[in-house]
Amino acid sequence: MNDFHVYDTTMRDGAQQEGLNLSVQDKMHIARHLDDLGVGYIEGGWPGSNPKDTEFFALAAKELDLQHATLAAFGATRRAGAVAADDPLVAALRESGAPVVTLVAKSHDRHVELALRTTLAENLAMVRDTVTHLRGEGQRVFVDLEHFFDGYLANRDYAVEVAGAAAEAGAEVVVLCDTNGGMLPHQVTDVVADVLAATGTRLGIHAHNDTGCAVANSMAAVLAGVTHLQGCINGYGERTGNADLVTSIANLELKLGRPVLPAGRLADATRISHAIAEITNYPPSARQPYTGVSSFAHKAGLHASAIRVDPDLYQHIDPALVGNDMRLLVSEMAGRATIELKGRELGFDLTDDPTRLARVTDRVKQLEQAGYTFEAADASFELLLAEEMEGGRPTYFDVESWRVIAESAAAGASAEATVKLVAGGQRLAVIGEGNGPVNALDHALRQAIDQLYPDVARFHLTDFRVRILDQGHGTDAVTRVLIETSDGKDSWVTVGVGANMIEASWQALVDALTYGLRRHGVSRVNA
Amino acid sequence: MNDFHVYDTTMRDGAQQEGLNLSVQDKMHIARHLDDLGVGYIEGGWPGSNPKDTEFFALAAKELDLQHATLAAFGATRRAGAVAADDPLVAALRESGAPVVTLVAKSHDRHVELALRTTLAENLAMVRDTVTHLRGEGQRVFVDLEHFFDGYLANRDYAVEVAGAAAEAGAEVVVLCDTNGGMLPHQVTDVVADVLAATGTRLGIHAHNDTGCAVANSMAAVLAGVTHLQGCINGYGERTGNADLVTSIANLELKLGRPVLPAGRLADATRISHAIAEITNYPPSARQPYTGVSSFAHKAGLHASAIRVDPDLYQHIDPALVGNDMRLLVSEMAGRATIELKGRELGFDLTDDPTRLARVTDRVKQLEQAGYTFEAADASFELLLAEEMEGGRPTYFDVESWRVIAESAAAGASAEATVKLVAGGQRLAVIGEGNGPVNALDHALRQAIDQLYPDVARFHLTDFRVRILDQGHGTDAVTRVLIETSDGKDSWVTVGVGANMIEASWQALVDALTYGLRRHGVSRVNA
């Protein structure tokens, strides 16, 4: 327990993010994921401050069987002028059953005076009394010094005195918090070095991203001697967020040579980062360091051949180390080498037939000239490859026609779609209603085929983007639609192009369902 | 021109981001925004590498009247074994008309051998020859040393030799690029200090965010002595993105005391960051440092009164410095100060009537909560202000109803719209055809009113963007449509929001024609 460790505060400080709300069950799921990843400590919330957090600790004590991590309860030092043993909020920490209590304390003189409305001396007493009391009751104590860096710059001696007092009273770790997030790494380096020299106690770092430097500030603190690092999965948190714990862990293990997870667990980072994003309902950023879907994506172009020979020249780590994958994007400059590599990635070997490879490359170029883009639409690209490799485009139904009517109405507007198609040997004509034209088409199409292909009930449209291409050229403009679809587990993007936005959406919708059914291994039903 | 400066590469390296595609017109708009912000240099693309970038430089030479920034063309050193003066890609740089050329060169020995397939000596000759040639032709030259940091770690002496050769041949700035993005700040500090001491030349930094440290690496380089900083607005870029130029600039000006923009321009950072996000169609991150809508948002709770007494205790800078606002999370996005400022910008003085200012602010907040955005839709905002200031919304016609039918057809798809309205005392019912639903509505609407308001014949729709808000939240999603309209001289953007994409488009269309007529000083025709 004295080793360097990482401490997750997703369920407490992360939950301060605007719009992020976690239920007790969400927290149970997140705690299991964090334990699975192998973090040292998981802060579960502030028992006593609200009923949900109190309930979480009660449930965790009964049902949360952590294999690796230790649960921590967050709370504040006792009130001014009171006694820790009698403080009801301190009692809630004692009763939480958490082996570790992380106490937040003030170390910035102005905050003591303005927010706590007490004296600097009484604040010191509050820290000593609360730490001593909880230690006496058998709990381990960490102390978060709120606004520490700003406090240090305003009144260094007082800030250092509070850090020393916490350690003397029995706090295992004194955590320096950049609560307002305004620091840059060189400042963190200097402050940590000075506090370490002045107190000789074990220090931790808690950084926010207001200067875009939360991770770098954490690394600077580690290099200056802290041995406890706090953060939130995916960088959740108030304002600009906390230090992203996934990026911090990957940097610690792969860049600074400090293992903080049990061996091999880092390879689950991408999966766990995305799984927690599903729980918070904040889509994971495609550009998140290490775990984003774009983080090892290359617009190959000219360099495709060099990437093939030595991928290490073009990526800072092997993506498999964090459970991610290299991806080559089929872009406007796509040449045969890119198409070939991309084909291999999707499970198609194009090497043995140069004529076919040339034909596919030409077709991609032609389609991109017409406005398609495949770099963001892997699913449509896979259907195109399948068409070329398997002697025909995969289809599950044959479209005869579609029509949409959208009109103004008293309450908003309405949309109705008619779809006529042949599937399973039957001609089907159905209508669908929706709050918009694409929604109506989507409903009609599903309704037509969901008896034959029940899997479509699991697919839902999660994102939809429209662009006008060649804008400025007036009526020549074509519309490109990108649709993202999810089956609750995976998601895929399809593309449609046309002068008519509804037509482009229809193409992307048909591709979306076709790709989904193919991915689920469904066979076409004929008469 | 020898001062510390920032260099934007949004239109070249930023455009490498997966799914980000910029048209020539997009680039013209972005360049104007960047110039308005006051960055020193704007990299427009790679003329000669693709027709779009060549077209951009041709158009920029004719129509882009930059007030502050200098345009740079990106390109590579000449091919191995050739002569710079005869290289067609070097010719394209010469002919671009850009006053600055930024040449990318290899400085990593393995990349020279594997990607360029030439010798280390020939690579040095390529750098010297190309720089010397372009300088001789009267262009200023910056040199980007690709993969510099990895190259330095693999073969320090060669990397330093290339840097020295570029400078000796006449490059004004030698830019050290962390192309794979794997560095941490302490490494950047060491490498920059060594290269600076070894070459004595002017250095720049180009960082990627693969360790979550792009901004911090840029700051470390500045503290170690570089005087040229590259980045992309909003951190766009390949994989995890480039250093966010907005955050970098704010850190430089507010944290390191290095002014890089003309006085006062930083206060436009939030507006410009968001306006460019609308062009790229990548929603601005709510948690983006400095400019995110959540970046100065406080879950007030216990601290509300302390925040009110002394907000500086709870935020790292005054948000007005970057054109953002503190928000206590009861309210949504806009603050009074912003509304007042924006109003003044549009010619409305809101200062003398605090009640009205509060009412407008409330209304904007309500509308933004419903999905509207006014940052990129000044025309709709002006109509809203006019409504509040002039006792009613400006109108030229009263809409009774609209309907659109879009359907599949043998050749593509067709669309037909019916619009019923009252204008000039007459009830009008007209139909319009078009290649898409919005086009059909646009045609019908114009046809209905062009006798009464001949100016509308001069308006044309030049861009159209659709975004689904609250993605991931399934059926609650609303659609936001932004329409850009031009009268051949000026252009303006309007916004519409609705569950139905066609309804949202209709709102934006009506606003577009209304704003245009108002701008042309046309009066409403009554019976």
Whether residues A187 and A93 fall in one domain = yes
pLDDT at A300 over 70: no
Number of H helices, E strands in chain B: 17, 16
* pLDDT band at residue A470 using 50, 70 and 90 as cut-offs: low
Q: Kind and range of the H or E element at A462? A: strand A460-469
Q: What is the pTM of this model?
A: 0.77
| Residue A285: predicted pLDDT | 87
- Please check whether residue A384 lies inside any domain of the structure: no
- Please check whether residue A327 lies inside any domain of the structure: yes
| Residue A475: predicted pLDDT | 41
B507: amino acid identity, one letter: Q
Cβ contact B502–A297 (<8 Å): no
What's the mean per-residue pLDDT of chain A? 90
pLDDT at A227 over 90: yes
Angle at A409 between CA A407 and CA A410, to 5 degrees: 170
Whether residues A57 and A188 fall in one domain = yes
Which of B280, B301, B317 is at the close of a domain?
Answer: B280
Q: Tell me the pLDDT tens digit for each residue of A330-382.
A: 655 456 777 887 788 888 888 888 888 888 888 887 787 777 877 668 899 99
Closest CA to B9 of B243, B185, B295, B227: B243
Q: Tell me the pLDDT tens digit for each residue of A132-168.
A: 999 999 999 999 999 999 999 999 999 999 999 999 9
Distance CA(B435)–CA(B296), nearest Å, equals 45
- Please check whether residue B181 lies inside any domain of the structure: yes
What's the mean per-residue pLDDT of chain B? 90
Query: Smallest CA–CA separation between B489 and chain A, in Å?
Result: 13
What would the mean pLDDT of A511-517 be, rounded to a whole number?
97
- Please check whether residue A247 lies inside any domain of the structure: yes
Cβ atoms within 10 Å of A85's Cβ, excluding its own:
16
Cβ contact B211–A212 (<8 Å): no
| Residue A365: predicted pLDDT | 77
Pairing mode of beta strands B100-106, B140-146: parallel
Residue B101 has phi, psi (to 5 degrees) of -115, 130
Distance CA(B134)–CA(A384), nearest Å, equals 44
Closest CA to B29 of B44, B46, B14: B44
What would the mean pLDDT of A71-80 be, rounded to a whole number?
97
Its domain, for residue B56, covers 5-280
Q: Tell me the pLDDT tens digit for each residue of B158-179.
A: 999 999 999 999 999 999 999 9
- Please check whether residue B382 lies inside any domain of the structure: no
* pLDDT band at residue B146 using 50, 70 and 90 as cut-offs: very high
Query: Smallest CA–CA separation between B289 and chain A, in Å?
Result: 5
Of A251, A297, A502, nearest to B437 by CB-CB distance is: A502
Whether residues A499 and A355 fall in one domain = no
Of A220, A469, A499, nearest to B185 by CB-CB distance is: A220
Q: What is the CATH number of the domain that holds B454?
A: 3.30.160.270
pLDDT at A266 over 90: yes
A241 touches chain B (CB under 8 A): yes
A369 touches chain B (CB under 8 A): no
- Please check whether residue A389 lies inside any domain of the structure: no
Cβ contact A212–B216 (<8 Å): yes
CB contacts of A310 in chain B (<8 Å) are 110, 114
Distance CA(A438)–CA(B500), nearest Å, equals 9
Q: Tell me the pLDDT tens digit for each residue of A437-465.
A: 999 999 999 999 999 999 999 998 887 87
| Strand blocks (E) in B113-211 | 140-146, 173-178, 203-207
Whether residues A213 and A310 fall in one domain = no
pLDDT at B470 over 60: no
Q: Give B 243-272 residues with CB within 8 A of chain A.
A: 244, 247-248, 250-251, 255-256
Of A181, A415, A469, nearest to B500 by CB-CB distance is: A415
| Residue A185: predicted pLDDT | 98
| Residue A474: predicted pLDDT | 40
Domain count, chain B: 2
Whether residues A114 and A199 fall in one domain = yes
Tokens (6 digits) for B412 = 């593509």
| Residue B300: predicted pLDDT | 45
| Residue B476: predicted pLDDT | 52
Q: How far apart are the first and last CA of chain A?
A: 66
Whether residues A358 and A402 fall in one domain = no
A410: amino acid identity, one letter: A
- Please check whether residue A380 lies inside any domain of the structure: no
Pair B396, B517: CB distance under 8 Å: yes
What would the mean pLDDT of A249-272 be, rounded to a whole number?
95
pLDDT at B475 over 60: no
Q: Tell me the pLDDT tens digit for each residue of B329-355.
A: 543 334 676 677 777 777 888 888 888
Interface test with A, best of B17, B21, B402 (most A CBs within 10 A): B21
Which of B280, B309, B340 is at the close of a domain?
Answer: B280
In the β-sheet with A413-423, what is the strand arrangement from edge to edge?
Answer: A426-434, A413-423, A398-408, B398-408, B413-423, B426-434
> How many alpha carbons fall within 13 Å on the CB side of residue B225?
16
Q: Give B 78-107 residues with CB within 8 A of chain A.
A: none
Cβ contact A180–B315 (<8 Å): yes
Angle at A389 between CA A387 and CA A392, to 5 degrees: 35
Cβ contact B212–A251 (<8 Å): yes
pLDDT at B468 over 80: no
* pLDDT band at residue A423 using 50, 70 and 90 as cut-offs: very high
| Residue B263: predicted pLDDT | 94
Whether residues A132 and A41 fall in one domain = yes
Whether residues A201 and A56 fall in one domain = yes
Question: Which residue from B minimizes the CA distance to A302?
Answer: B115
Which of A255, A283, A311 is at the close of a domain?
Answer: A255
What percentage of chain A carries pLDDT values higher than 90?
68
Distance CA(B276)–CA(B388), nearest Å, equals 28
- The crossing angle, in degrees rounded to 10, of helices A156-169 and A120-136 is 20
CB contacts of A113 in chain B (<8 Å) are none
Helix (H/G/I), strand (E/B), else coil: B155: coil
Task: List % helix, strand, coil for chain A (3-state, nearest 5).
Answer: 45, 20, 35
Residue A93 has phi, psi (to 5 degrees) of -70, -45
CB contacts of B182 in chain A (<8 Å) are 255, 316-317
Cβ contact B412–A108 (<8 Å): no
Higher pLDDT, B212 or B371: B212
| Residue A476: predicted pLDDT | 52
Query: Smallest CA–CA separation between A192 and chain B, in Å?
Result: 15
What would the mean pLDDT of B71-96 be, rounded to a whole number?
96
Cβ contact B295–A210 (<8 Å): yes
Of A17, A114, A292, nearest to B240 by CB-CB distance is: A292
Tokens (6 digits) for B225 = 């002595």
Q: What is the CATH number of the domain that holds B127?
A: 3.20.20.70
| Residue B330: predicted pLDDT | 44
Q: Among B62-71, B74-83, B308-317, B342-351, whose mean pLDDT is lowest?
A: B342-351
Pair A494, A485: CB distance under 8 Å: yes
Contacts of B128 (CB under 8 A, 6+ apart): B165, B166, B168, B169
Whether residues A115 and A218 fall in one domain = yes
| Residue B380: predicted pLDDT | 93
Cβ contact A460–B479 (<8 Å): no
Whether residues A335 and A472 fall in one domain = no
| Residue B332: predicted pLDDT | 36
CB contacts of A185 in chain B (<8 Å) are 185, 216, 219-220
- Please check whether residue B258 lies inside any domain of the structure: yes
Higher pLDDT, B106 or A329: B106
B287 touches chain A (CB under 8 A): yes
> How many alpha carbons fall within 13 Å on the CB side of residue B429?
3
Whether residues A76 and A185 fall in one domain = yes
Whether residues B100 and B237 fall in one domain = yes
Contacts of A65 (CB under 8 A, 6+ apart): none
In the β-sheet with B491-498, what is the strand arrangement from edge to edge?
Answer: A491-498, A478-486, A460-469, B460-469, B478-486, B491-498
